[in-house]
Amino acid sequence: MALARTSLRAWDEDGGPSMNTAPDEAELRLIHAAIPGRARFHLARLKGNGQLGQQLLADLPGRMIEHVSANPITGNILIFFDPDVPLDRIERLLRQSLRESTKAPSPKVGIAANRAEAWHALPVTNVLARLDTTEAGLSGTEGLRRLARHGPNRLGELHGRSAEEILLGQFRSLPVALLGASALLSLATGGLADAIVIAGVIGLNAEIGYVSESRAERTITALTKGSPQFATVIRDGSGREIPLDDIVPGDILELAAGTLVPADARLIATDGLSIGEALLTGESLPIEKSADRLLPPDCPLAERTNMVFRGTLVTGGAGRAVVVATGRMSEIGRIQSMIGAVEPQQTPLQHQLARLGRELVGISLAACGAVFALGMVRGHGMLPMLRVAVSLAVAAVPEGLPTLATTTLALGIDSLRRKGILIRALPAVEGLSTIQIICFDKTGTLTLNRMEVARIITPQGDFRMTGPHVLRMEGDVGTAIDPGEQQDLVQLLELCALCNDAELNEGGTEQEVTGSSTETALLQAALRSGLDVAALRARRPRLSASQRSENRRYMTTRHGLETGATLRAVKGNPEDVLALCRWTLADSERRPLDAAERRRIEAENQALGQAAMRVLGVASALDEGELAWAGMVAMMDPVRSDAARVMTRFHEAGIGTVIVTGDQAATAAAIADELGLSNGITPQGALARNGIATLPPNGPGMIADHVFSRVTPAQKLQIIETLRRAGLVVAMVGDGINDAPSLRAADIGIALGGGTDAARQTADVILLTDELEGLVTAIENGRATYDNIRRAIAYLLATNLSEIMLMLVSVASGIGQPLTPVQLLWLNLVTDVLPAIGLALEPPAAGLMQRPPRDAQEPIVSRADYGTLGRDAAIITGTALAGGLSATLRHGAGVRSGAVGFASLIAAQLLYALPYRAARPAGQKSENGRDYLPGALMLSGTAAAAALFLPGLRRLCGGPIDLIDSGIALAAGGAAMALGSGGGEKLR
């Protein structure tokens, strides 16, 4: 679909009203505190005041308060706290924080960044001095003192929904409220049985929804990953392990490969240190870190190479760092604060059912008033007519509506769960059908978030590695080869396996390699090509190694050979390695490396770099001889195998796709090009972070480029909110902590099962298998579910309108009350509901994913639809009246003719379900091979027969009827179906 060009507001760090006036005590009020350990307040002054919100996020969390979210849109403050702490104490802390904010506003913190201390811009000595610490670390006593002052190094928990919240959520809809009102009306007018039945319907609806949603929450909880509980720090001059919670600002961290960074810290020493920051910044490649580099104060988070951040992974080397921020003041803590400040979005179905409920209230009141007035005009008693009016009010509200929607959505959740797609809440099933644009994080979402060797260029050939195959390229044409027969390829891979710190675990397969992502990829490429790496390393044992550093961008290892000579292997930055070489290796022969060959290699390196690949040059020499160039290895984070196919499916379905990543512009543009999203853009055309930050509030937008690179979590959130303000229904797909605020802000948030706990806890949909193809399945299911619910609701409304019409015509014509309250309930809860559920379980209509998404603002039943439904209801009413009048001619007015009229209405309503079926290919059934509607009609018909023929039920639902009467009723139903206006066809 063509994306609207819309303006992107720059993230406003200075926005909000002045905070120079003292808060009125009455300005802060408690809204809700029913759940222990949780309270919601409203502060009028918070509305539009993002700075005040961030002040509260920074000031409040501590030992008693676990998590705070402040929403400047609604003015609400949500606080999670220790349940043992009295609520009034929490309120006092909040008021104290508000009073302090008027005296001396603290530096801006939170969503954008904490600018109070630009640690990356300070020399190490200054950092240590400001934190009052040394490289020998804090003393044990000082560590305890700082722990008391700063609080534990703990992130606020991302709370899933509690059982109470899930249960209460089942009652928060207008249709359910209408049912409750109907029960109260029935009870007030003596209809105890009616009230009990309606209450039972409400309870059944709640149970179905609760079971489905609580199962989803349990699955999400089971996916939660455990985190390390201890970290190595230097205290009293020596290294020791301490609990993660006890780390404080000023502690000196020892960083080792394979460990997670426990707190934000400024590096003070590095030895080949590299950090994987993909889940925090979106950068796909490990970042090489250096302690000596000084950076500008406004340097983006992804470019702070002298800093390490909590939750990131040490992928190689070692280092020491001084802690500068812990717990909620860390970058991850700030992102979690953003999550709490964003309100979850309601789905279109929730809005539409509420709108439909309001319309039904109007219809109900109008019908009640009309019947009551007509009855009084015709001289009927007030009390009897009041009871008739109440019965009609019950009839006007389709009692089966909440159960229909809940059952259909619950079955949709169960169907998707079996396919590896977890839906967190019932309405999200249908919400998938309205998605107009999907924003994808790149690293770990569109890509696998692991390095793989993609190209190898030797002096003799150009090779591509695609899965288990190696292709020798001639231009754009590749020929599969046996890598063992390519001497120059084998030679280069052997050097990559030797000059490599990755380790083979027992077994020696590529799945059992541990090391940095780059070196693991090199070793896996060698294993995939058939090299026996363990035997190679045994034959050529390592004698020494020199690791790469900031000023020496290559690694060198020396290995003993069987001849007694020494092999020197070098790998690293291609420019640096090439500069060291005087020779080139071709078929194991050394040839002089002339200027033309150097220019060719430099051009190839530049081309690979522009394609967003990480390139390493490889060379070797014997003893201390001059180095010979062996070739280049290019690696990349590969795109998921199904990603391009999925993008095509989305575009066919009229859904726009956008990449929003913290990675570099060149990488983002290359991925967009591979997936067919580029629209001809270059790396320079991919909108970078600074482009977003400097867009004027009302200036032209850059959305049409489809690619946003180098964005922070706050800017991702800004993009999502801008798209939503432009009127688009937005989905966000991500897996990292940096994606979590955007997942919460999007209309539908979609996380990968293998992603972070934060992403899963904030998402509406979780792809448990991490396969993007599942998202196509989910959207198709959502579209089918909405179509079926809409068709089933239309059927319910048509049948309910027929009951209202029958009552109006009968009272107006002097026939009297044709239906008792029990009969009305029977029609609404037994006769109508089962066929409606059968309609709701119809298989998808043809061409669901070849049409654009529906308009989320379109009502579930439009004014034009009401015209169609009125005509359908009139046909059902007319045939039922005809059946009743035929029985009156045969039996005279009385209970028996009333029973025949009741039976005629049942038959007409049941058979009228058939025109409402979806258009579908001949013979297509539901995914489990069943066709539910015929079974539903048979079950409802059987129940109707029981109500008309079994003595116990017959007394409740009508008098006895014979075979001729049954024939009249069936004839009425057949006539209704034959005269049907095709309401279902018009509603498709």
Cβ contact 796:398 at 8 Å: yes
% of the chain residues with pLDDT over 90: 20
* pTM score, whole prediction: 0.69
Q: Say if CB 147 and CB 155 are below 8 A apart.
A: no
* Residue ranges of the chain that CATH labels 1.20.1110.10: 165-216+345-430+777-986
User: Which pLDDT value is given to residue 58?
Assistant: 63
pLDDT the model gives residue 506: 66
Taking the C-alpha atoms of 524, 527, 533 and 535 in order, what is their torsion angle to the nearest 10 degrees?
Answer: 160
Q: Specify the range with the lowest mean pLDDT, choosing from 112-116, 222-226, 751-755, 949-953.
A: 112-116
The confidence score (pLDDT) of residue 511 equals 60
How many CB atoms lie under 10 A from the CB of residue 416? 23
Q: Which of 621, 604, 635, 616 lies closest to 568, judged by CA?
A: 621
Residues of the chain with CATH 2.70.150.10: 119-157+227-334
Q: Which CATH number fits domain 25-103: 3.30.1370.70, 3.40.50.300, 3.30.70.1710, 3.40.50.10300?
A: 3.30.1370.70
Q: Which two tokens stand for residue 99?
A: 């009073």
The structure tokens listed for 869 are 């439904």
CATH number for the domain formed by residue range(s) 165-216+345-430+777-986 = 1.20.1110.10
Banded model confidence at residue 345, pLDDT cuts 50, 70, 90: low
pLDDT tens readout for residues 35-92 = 777 888 888 888 767 667 766 766 666 546 767 777 776 788 888 776 777 888 888 8
Is the pLDDT confidence value at 2 over 60? no
In this predicted model, which residue has the larger pLDDT, 908 or 391?
A: 908
pLDDT at 627: 94
In the predicted structure, residue 669 carries a pLDDT above the cut 90: no
* 453-636 classified as CATH 3.20.20.10: no
Give the CATH H-level superfamily of domain 1-19+639-728. Answer: HAD superfamily/HAD-like (3.40.50.1000)
For residue 639, the cross-strand partners are 447
Quote the pLDDT of residue 633. 96
What order of strands is seen across the sheet that includes strand 707-708?
A: 421-423, 765-767, 748-752, 730-734, 437-440, 656-660, 707-708
How far from the centroid of its chain's Cα atoms is residue 435's Cα? 12
Taking the C-alpha atoms of residue 458 and residue 629, their distance in angstroms, rounded to an integer, is 9
**Region(s) of the chain under CATH 3.40.50.1000:** 1-19+639-728
pLDDT, average across residues 143-160: 79
Mean per-residue pLDDT of the chain: 78
Q: What contacts 24+ positions apart, CB below 8 Å, involve 749-752?
A: 750/775, 752/444, 752/445
Instruction: Flag whether pLDDT at 349 surpasses 60.
Output: yes
Task: List, as one string, the DSSP characters of 604-616.
Answer: HHHHHHHTT-EEE
Q: Which residues are catalytic?
A: 441
Percentage of residues in the chain having pLDDT higher than 70 = 78
Pinpoint the residues of the chain covered by CATH 3.30.1370.70.
25-103
- Ranges in the chain annotated CATH 3.40.1110.10: 453-636
Is the confidence at residue 265, as pLDDT, over 90?
yes
pLDDT for residue 948 is more than 50: yes
pLDDT of residue 96: 78
pLDDT given for residue 702 in this prediction: 40
DSSP annotation of 728:
-
Tell the residue number behind the tokens 């009249």, with chain if given: 968
* pLDDT confidence of residue 680: 43
The residue among 343 and 274 whose pLDDT is bigger is: 274
pLDDT at 985 over 60: no
CA angle 335-336-339, nearest 5°?
95
What average pLDDT does range 185-199 have in this prediction?
70
- In the chain, the amino acid numbered 130 is R
CATH 1.10.10.10 fits domain 119-157+227-334:
no
pLDDT for the residue 307? 94
Choose between 574 and 111: higher pLDDT.
Answer: 574
Return phi, psi of residue 966, to 5°. -60, -40
- Per-position DSSP letters for 405-420, written without gaps between them: HHHHHHHHHHHHHHTT
More confident residue, 633 or 816: 633
> What pLDDT score was predicted for residue 219?
55
Give yes or no for residue 935 having a pLDDT over 60.
Answer: yes
Q: What is the pLDDT of residues 492-544, one digit of tens each?
A: 999 999 999 988 876 555 567 888 888 899 999 999 998 999 999 999 999 99
Q: Which two tokens stand for residue 132?
A: 């009052």
Reply yes or no on whether the pLDDT at 693 is more than 50. Answer: no
Question: How far apart (Å, rounded) are the C-alpha atoms in residues 341 and 351?
Answer: 22
pLDDT band at 22 (very low <50, low <70, confident <90, very high): very low
Structure tokens at 390: 């109440």
At residue 557, the pLDDT reads 96
Q: What is the 3-state secondary structure (H, E, C) of 444-460?
A: HHHECCCCEEEEEEECC
Q: Which DSSP symbol is given to 380?
A: -
pLDDT digits (tens, 9 = 90+) for 840-852: 888 877 788 888 8
Mean pLDDT, residues 201-228 taken together: 61
Q: Which residue has the tokens 């797609």?
A: 421
Structure tokens that stand for 663 in this block = 């990675």
